[in-house]
């Protein structure tokens, strides 16, 4: 199951709970007598406690697994990514200006890497914000980071399966935003 | 019949104020209809049943997004003014200035997007307005900046006036219910004053960030040689955007606190200690939660990111729990008919809970890594907007014209079903699009995410259901408008 589906199911569970609770209130709106204030207070406290515990649980479970690079790991390979309306240039050599961008893009918006290696993408932009994303060969979003002018964002990924990973632009950047793309070929 | 809005013997000033509220709401509903149809147009295009040129699609996206956010902010402010008017004296003049400011702003936005083809998206992320890639002329960017300036100024005047009105009767500490919160004292401050103060103070801080943002834009645009820092601009943009959207939600909630007890045959709510606590927490944390918009900017300091997740988790819980349990308790055993206004306020609260949880899930950094800028995002904000604030404010408007014209409300039945089914069906397609990794803001879907087109086709069907419901609503509303106006 994809992480997206897991998140979706958590939400659906919540929707079901809310649906039931609100449904009970609607049914009770014609047949029952009003609840005693103490019962309402108890329910409020209970709901608050349950949600706070769940929130604490969620924070403890997910915060340590945030996808930011750590000093503990050393990448096996560095790939430089530069965004510019409307294509990504990728290269194993640094891309810092228009010239290097044109040079890198002359071979197309792609790069080859080996499976199993820890790759560090150093992502930036020459004009506006773009969104650098990686779609697995079965078209699921597996990683992303913003490409921002004046900053370098470092995204680390390990590709476990070989194949072509599409890069789509995930930050609205103008007229051809939906056509701005690239590819990482994993061998 | 409870007559919270009607008043027994209104003064001439109160009647004039009521008419302006009616004018505001009617204007907002018309704008909603226009920009809502643009939403349908976008869905049709994504469904491949239409093929708009991309520059038109993105201009429409910008117009729809900003048009909707602005429309529901002003509708919420108008409703808040009407509620405040029970307790304090907001100035009619300030509301009128805001009204004409808003009209001019709308004209400027229409010009920039529909004539100029400016397509910067609703949050016009710096430096995109300066990089039109040959699509829109320079003047369109300037008209757009003028739109932001005029809207920002007139709304600031409006917000400041409400705060002035509140301050002339309550001290700030009272309006924030601190004596109740810290000393457990009984206090004659209704919850709507507390919610209003929280919203307005946060709104004012947000608008100040917008002023800084705009000044930086002007300085760069006027060729002073200033080159802005993209990360700083992004922080300012989302601080402002997040606060504006959140307080719009609170403005709708104020409508629930004001009307729902009466509609359920109960006395008005009191500001209990937990109510005071919840809304003060909301004020504190709503200002920090915006960091969740920048999770994918890895250059942002790590502690901001963590703070963003913690604040996002905690900011929503207290106010939502207090409001939801209150609404449920008012509903249970209340008897009385399910009129459209009562149903919409009820459903709106439910939409807040459902959309809010979708937002909390996405404010988890780990999850955001997979959902950021996918259709999950429009999924969650359309939920707490369309099925939350919009329903609350539509409910308020419905009640308003009925009370003013002295008519009983019709039963809710088909209206309620059409809106709920159409609305949630439309939203489900956004959410599932997020699950399938379909990006947001794509005029056309590439092969990897072609499923997005199928989902858009299904969505249009649900939008049509929703539309039918809204047409029924409009029919009831318009029918009573003249009478409501003359008796108002
Ligand atoms: C009437 C029903 C509505 C329909 C059919 C609709 C449809 C849409 C569509 C198709 C998009 C583009 C999604 C994407 O691909 O990114 C969109 C974006 C948006 N909508 Fe709606 N919408 C509706 C109501 C609302 C409401 C009530 C609001 C209230 C604030 C709203 C605010 C927005 C915003 C802020 C955006 C994002 C614009 C951007 O990305 O720049 N919409 N809507
Ligand atoms: Cu791009
Ligand atoms: Cu883009």
Helix orientation angle between B340-362 and B302-331, rounded to the nearest 10 degrees: 160
What is d(CA A83, CA A149) in angstroms, rounded to the nearest whole number?
Answer: 9
Do the chains contact at B125 and A176, CB–CB below 8 Å?
A: no
What is d(CA B251, CA B155) in angstroms, rounded to the nearest whole number?
Answer: 14
How are beta strands A77-84 and A181-186 bridged, if at all?
unpaired
Question: pLDDT at position A51, please?
Answer: 92
Among all ligands shown, which has an atom nearest to the Cα of A88? 2
Q: In the predicted model, is pLDDT for residue B325 greater than 90?
A: yes
ipTM: 0.96
Write the CATH number for A121.
Answer: 2.60.40.420
Interval between CA B216 and ligand 2 midpoint (Å): 23
Boundary-marking domain end, from A65, A96, A111:
A65
Q: Answer yes or no: do A82 and A61 share one domain.
A: no
Written in H, E and C, the secondary structure of A2-62 is CHHHHHHHHHHHHHHHHHHHHHHHHHHHHHCCCCCHHHHHHHHHHHHHHHHHHHHHHHHHH
What are the C-alpha distances in Å from B324 to residues B256, B383, B400? 10, 16, 23
Q: Which residue of A has its CA nearest to B46?
A: A178
Q: Per-residue confidence of chain A (187 residues) as pLDDT tens digits?
A: 899 999 999 999 999 999 999 999 998 888 778 888 888 889 899 999 999 999 999 999 999 999 999 888 899 999 999 999 999 999 999 999 999 999 999 988 889 999 999 999 999 999 999 999 999 999 999 999 999 999 999 999 999 999 999 999 999 999 999 999 999 999 9
Q: Answer yes or no: do A81 and A155 share one domain.
A: yes
CA distance B369 to chain A (A): 6
The answer to whether position A72 is within a domain reads no
Q: Answer yes or no: do A115 and A58 share one domain.
A: no
Do the chains contact at B133 and A86, CB–CB below 8 Å?
A: yes
The answer to whether position A10 is within a domain reads yes
- Count of domains forming chain A: 2
Q: Answer yes or no: do A59 and A81 share one domain.
A: no
Q: Which two tokens stand for residue B356?
A: 């809010």
Over the range B193-221, which residues count as b (16 or more CB within 10 Å of their CB) and which as e?
bbbbbbbbbbbbebbebbeebbebbeebe
Among all ligands shown, which has an atom nearest to the Cα of B374? 1
The answer to whether position A53 is within a domain reads yes
- Which residue in the set B328, B331, B435 is minimally distant from A8, CB to CB? B435
| Interface contact B313, partner A, CB < 8 A | yes
Residues around the ion ligand 2 (C-beta < 5 A)? A 130, 169, 173, 180
| Interface contact B132, partner A, CB < 8 A | yes
The answer to whether position A70 is within a domain reads no
The answer to whether position A35 is within a domain reads yes
Q: Which chain A residues are Cβ-neighbours of B439 within 8 angstroms?
A: 133, 168-170, 178
How are beta strands A110-113 and A181-186 bridged, if at all?
parallel
Question: pLDDT at position B73, please?
Answer: 98
pLDDT band, residue B1 (cuts 50/70/90): very low
Q: What value does the mean pLDDT take over residues B271-283?
A: 91
Q: Spell out which residues line ligand 1, taking CB within 6 angstroms.
A: B 36, 39-40, 42-43, 61-62, 64-65, 68-69, 72, 121-122, 378, 382, 385-386, 390, 440-442, 463
B173-223 residue pLDDT tens:
999 999 999 988 888 899 999 999 999 999 999 999 999 999 999 999 998
Q: Answer yes or no: do A38 and A95 share one domain.
A: no
- Which residue in the set A11, A55, A143 is minimally distant from B358, CB to CB? A11
Q: Answer yes or no: do A40 and A81 share one domain.
A: no
CA distance A27 to chain B (A): 8
Q: Answer yes or no: do A88 and A153 share one domain.
A: yes
Domain range for A59: 3-65
């Amino acid at each position: 199951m994809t992480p997206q589906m897991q998140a979706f199911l958590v939400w659906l569970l919540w929707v079901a709970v809310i649906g039931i609770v609100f449904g009970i209130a609607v049914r009770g709106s014609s047949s029952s007598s009003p609840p005693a204030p103490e019962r309402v207070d108890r329910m409020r406290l209970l709901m608050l406690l349950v949600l706070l515990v769940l929130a604490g649980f969620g924070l403890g479970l997910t915060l340590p697994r945030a996808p930011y690079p750590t000093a503990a790991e050393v990448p096996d390979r560095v790939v430089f990514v530069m965004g510019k309306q409307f294509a990504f240039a990728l290269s194993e050599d640094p891309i810092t200006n228009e010239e290097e961008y044109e040079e890198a893009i002359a071979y197309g918006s792609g790069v080859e890497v080996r499976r199993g290696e820890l790759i560090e993408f150093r992502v930036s932009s020459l004009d506006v914000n773009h969104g650098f994303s990686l779609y697995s060969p079965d078209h699921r979003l597996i990683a992303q980071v913003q490409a921002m002018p004046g900053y370098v964002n470092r995204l680390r990924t390990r590709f476990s399966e070989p194949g072509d990973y599409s890069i789509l632009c995930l930050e609205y950047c103008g007229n051809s935003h939906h056509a701005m793309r690239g590819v990482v070929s994993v061998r | 019949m409870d007559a919270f809005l009607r008043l027994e013997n209104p003064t001439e000033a109160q009647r004039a104020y009521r008419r302006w509220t009616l004018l505001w709401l009617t204007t907002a509903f018309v704008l909603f209809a226009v920009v809502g149809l643009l939403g349908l147009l976008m869905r049709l295009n994504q469904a491949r049943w239409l093929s708009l040129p991309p520059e038109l699609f993105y201009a429409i996206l910008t117009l729809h997004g900003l048009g909707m956010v602005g429309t529901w902010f002003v509708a919420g402010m108008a409703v808040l003014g009407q509620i405040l008017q029970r307790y304090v004296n907001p100035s009619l003049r300030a509301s009128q200035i805001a009204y004409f400011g808003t009209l001019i702003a709308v004209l400027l936005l229409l010009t920039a997007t529909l004539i100029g083809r400016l397509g910067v998206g609703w949050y016009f992320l710096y430096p995109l307005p300066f990089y039109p890639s040959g699509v829109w002329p320079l003047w369109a960017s300037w008209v757009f900046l003028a739109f932001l300036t005029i809207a920002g100024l007139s709304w600031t005047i409006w917000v400041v006036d409400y705060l002035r009105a509140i301050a002339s009767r309550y001290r700030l500490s009272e309006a924030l219910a601190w004596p109740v919160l810290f000393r457990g004292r009984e206090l004659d401050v209704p919850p709507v004053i507390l919610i209003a103060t929280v919203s307005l103070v946060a709104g004012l801080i947000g608008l100040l960030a917008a002023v800084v943002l705009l000044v930086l834009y002007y300085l760069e645009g006027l060729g002073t040689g200033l080159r802005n820092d993209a990360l700083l601009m992004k922080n300012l943009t989302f601080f402002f955007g997040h606060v504006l959207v959140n307080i719009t939600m609170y403005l709708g909630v104020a409508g629930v606190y004001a009307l729902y007890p009466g509609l359920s045959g109960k006395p008005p709510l009191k500001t209990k200690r937990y109510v005071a606590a919840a809304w003060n927490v909301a004020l504190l944390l709503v200002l920090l939660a915006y960091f969740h918009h920048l999770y994918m900017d890895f250059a942002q300091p790590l502690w901001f990111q963590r703070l963003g997740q913690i604040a996002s988790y905690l900011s929503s819980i207290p106010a939502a729990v207090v409001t939801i349990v209150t609404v449920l308790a008012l509903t249970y055993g209340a008897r009385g008919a399910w009129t459209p206004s009562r149903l919409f306020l009820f459903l709106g609260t439910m939409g807040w809970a459902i959309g809010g949880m979708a937002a909390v899930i996405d404010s988890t950094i780990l999850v955001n890594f997979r959902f950021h800028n996918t259709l999950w995002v429009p999924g969650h904000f359309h939920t707490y907007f369309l099925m939350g604030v919009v329903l609350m404010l539509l409910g308020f408007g419905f009640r308003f014209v009925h009370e003013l014209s002295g008519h009983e409300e019709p039963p809710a039945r088909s209206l309620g079903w059409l809106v709920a089914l159409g609305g949630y069906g439309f939203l489900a397609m956004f959410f599932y699009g997020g699950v399938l990794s379909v990006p947001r803001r794509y005029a056309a879907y590439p092969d990897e995410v072609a499923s997005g087109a199928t989902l858009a086709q299904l969505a249009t069907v649900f939008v049509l259901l929703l539309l039918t419901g809204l047409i029924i609503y409009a029919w009831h509303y318009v029918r009573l408008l003249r009478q409501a106006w003359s008796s108002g």
